[in-house]
Amino acid sequence: MILGIGNDLCDIRRIEQTIDRFGDRFLMRVFTDVERTKSDRRRMRAASYAKRFAAKEACAKALGTGLRHGVFWRDMGVVNLPGGRPTMRLTGGAKVRLDSLVPAGMAADIHLTITDEYPLAEAMVVIMAIPAPSSAG
């Protein structure tokens, strides 16, 4: 069952200008440690940050809150599953909101796709409810 869908398009040049202007102040306010470590290793650093910025915007839309009602930038972080597929790890207010959307007996499954083609970065998030793993063993 789909609980929410979000999409966002971000101009890489805008992120590049923001990093140039505000530097670490911007990066520390918006991105998790994992995101900063990954993006700072990339040749196309601004594009990597722009994809993650778009993912956060898309996730906030999928949650139905935007960046309000206790949902903050660093509550949503792009992480990679063991096979490399990107997804979102939610904490704080974003996790509280996610938990409120998931019906009893179900678990959240967040699907994320991110891409860029200079000068644009795009992200789409689909939040689904799937049957929760059985605790019987």
Annotated binding-site positions: 8, 57
Cα-atom radius of gyration of the chain, to the nearest Å? 15
Nearest to 97 by CA among 137, 68, 126: 68
How many CB atoms neighbour CB 78 within 10 A?
A: 25
Q: Is the peptide bond before 119 cis (omega within 30 degrees of 0)?
A: yes
Residues 78, 13: Cα–Cα separation, whole Å:
20
Which residues are documented as binding site for Mg(2+)?
A: 8, 57
Structure-block tokens of residue 60:
């906030």
How many CB atoms neighbour CB 129 within 10 A?
A: 17
Helix (H) or strand (E) holding 79: strand 76-80
